[in-house]
Structure 1
Amino acid sequence: MRLRNTAVAALGALTLLIAVPSSAHAATGDFLYKVGRLPGVPSGLADPQSGVCINLDGATEADPAFAPDNFTTSTATVFLDFDCNGDVYRVMNPGQRLGDRLKFRSVVFS
């Protein structure tokens, strides 16, 4: 009797794991930033993919993105250069907001 109850509980837990969608491939939430010249045009990413470098729409060589707000559940690393290259970067914890002075062109989420 106990073995059967244990088996039923294990099967139920397995079914629940399979049925619940996994967010392992996405940083749930919004990553907001501004592009263009001050005061900037608001832009952002909704539920961005994790582990992939994202070049930001609207960011250019002349005018990088600025004023990032990381409202995702993941750590965001913003880079001054495109393609997450270079040694100029900043790590942002979930919920962190940085000011207009931070310039960046690409981001990757943990």
Structure 2
Amino acid sequence: MRLRNAALAVASAVALVLAVPMSANAAVGEFLYKVGPGVPAGIADPQSGKCINLFGATEKDPAFAPENLTTSTATVFLDFDCNGDTFYVMNPGKILGDRLKLRSVIFS
């Protein structure tokens, strides 16, 4: 009887571990954007819930033309450190044009 209970407990623990998603803290996919005169840049599998200042974006020249090719919603900000009241919410798969300027992003 004890062996059967132990085997059931082990099987339940294995099933629980396998049921938990492995990438719970990452937005799977790529977030692409351009800097400078159309130079491509991007982030692969960005961490969720953490503000990311975009590489190549400066005070003078923000990044532009974002493409959210991740599985998560991205909120892009004109200011660094995900500050300010100029932002745009991008659903997964959303591609925006050159007119949208950004310096930071956070994923849900």
Q: TM-score range by the shorter chain?
A: 0.7 to 0.9
Cα offset for 1:97?
0.4
What amino acid is the match of 1:23?
Answer: S
Closer, same or farther: CA 91–13 of 1 in aligned 2, 3 Å: farther
**Structure 1, unpaired ranges of 5+:** none
Match of 2:88 in 1: 90
Cα offset for 1:50?
0.4
Match of 1:49 in 2: 47
* Percentage of matched positions with identical amino acids: 73
Cα offset for 1:73?
0.4
SS in 1 for 2:67: strand
Match of 1:35 in 2: 35
TM-score, scaled to structure 1: 0.85
SS in 1 for 2:24: coil
Deviations 1:58-105 (A, max 9, x none): 000111000000000000000000000000000000000000100000
What amino acid is the match of 1:12?
Answer: A
Cα offset for 1:16?
3.7
Closer, same or farther: CA 81–15 of 1 in aligned 2, 3 Å: same
Deviations 1:36-66 (A, max 9, x none): 13xx100000000000000000000111000
Q: 2:73 aligns with which of 62, 75, 82?
A: 75
Using the alignment, how far apart are the partners of 2:62 and 2:47 within structure 1?
Answer: 21
